[in-house]
Amino acid sequence: MDKKGIQEIKKCFKKEDCRIDRIRSCFVSEEGEVLSQFSDSFFSLEDEEMHKYCALFKQSLSGKFGRELYTLEFPLSEEETGGKQDSLYRLNESELKEEGLCENFFQKIRESYPVPGKKLLILAHGVYDVPQKGTDGITMEDASDTVYSFTLFLLCPVSLLKEGLCFDKETDSFIARSEDFVVQKPEISFLYPAFHERSSDIHALLYRAKKREEGLDTLTEELFGIPLPYGEKEQKGQFSALVQEVLKENCNFENVRTLQEELQELKEQGKEEEKEQTLSKSQLKQLLENAGATEEGLANFSALYDESLGEHDSSFYTENLVNSSLQLKSENLQLKIKNEVSAILESKIIEGKEYLLIPVSDNLEVNGIPIRRRLELE
């Protein structure tokens, strides 16, 4: 999926025009026992409840690719009868009307999710008549030839609000409140099937993890048979090691800055196109060549690339590799410069030592104190 697809599906959760038609929920205790279950037509809910659910649905698709959001593709073995994709496909086709399929899914989650605490498991089914787009890109709301039937899952922690005084609108006063359980934002969620090129892709799903923790990263393998790609921190570490190994003696300031500038351009391009921006093996090889990699350094590039990503992914996420500023750090130095003005930095060898030269501007401050340039005093 891409950002455009996500934004389009989020519109299905508008309070005044929500496309969810059925919902099932399971309230689970700290020990994994079922405390309560709920199943009904979504439209039978009270307006206030519907609005709260719609807010949760939108949050379940929020985040950045490579950080919280991941498009996961099923291996062929899981698409066979009895496979994990096959189970999800049958669940979605049932429109959540078959209780046994929903019960089995909730049980799998309860057995696989390792984080303690009360939680609310939510399955929601929806139908979206995808409007056509003209050659000019304008959406034709009254014309549709594609129906997207989808299932959305959310796992939301449930916390306990302690008793106390709270304001009551009806009585216009503060009243005593007993302890209440409150549903928090979803920790994990997924959308199946993926919404790819404005249609259903039953071979993939969109997965969201609010945070990456040891024990949670194996959840996608248990539920879908798919390893989760490396997270942002891991990708940065793997990328750094790969660049050092390929550039070797050419891993200097100028070449690394060149690499970062080109990555920044790709990131901005991805923002304009609203696409999930990734670096393929061939793209990264070209970037390293532009940044000064020699034929000798690139000789083992393919093997090093495969070793860096392993079985977790086929590419790096550009957003994971680029910061909003050029950051320099050593034992006695920390320096941040906006990417768009990083060219003011100059690397120069003076008497056998390398220096980074920075022009002093007219509005330079030291700990908040404006200073005068020496040229003005001489």
- Residue where a domain stops, chosen among 224, 247, 281: 224
**330/314 same-domain check:** no
pTM (predicted TM-score): 0.81
Q: What is the pLDDT along the chain (378 residues), one digit of tens a residue?
A: 888 899 999 999 988 889 999 999 999 988 888 888 888 788 888 888 899 999 999 999 999 888 899 999 999 999 999 999 999 999 999 999 999 999 999 999 999 988 888 999 999 999 999 987 766 566 666 666 789 999 999 999 998 776 666 666 777 777 666 667 788 999 999 999 999 988 999 999 999 999 887 678 889 999 999 988 888 888 889 899 999 999 999 998 889 988 988 888 888 887 776 666 788 888 999 999 999 999 998 988 988 888 888 765 567 888 888 887 888 888 887 888 887 777 788 888 898 888 888 887 777 888 888 887 665 555
**161/127 same-domain check:** yes
d(CA 17, CA 149): 16
Name the domain count of the chain: 3
Tokens 């005068």, residue located: 372
**23/161 same-domain check:** yes
- Residue where a domain stops, chosen among 173, 197, 224: 224
**202/274 same-domain check:** no
pLDDT of residue 89: 96
**348/332 same-domain check:** yes
**320/334 same-domain check:** no
pLDDT of residue 125: 96
**83/206 same-domain check:** yes
**188/288 same-domain check:** no
- Residue where a domain stops, chosen among 285, 306, 324: 324
**175/316 same-domain check:** no
**120/240 same-domain check:** no
Residue 353's domain comprises 326-377
**49/163 same-domain check:** yes
**209/271 same-domain check:** no
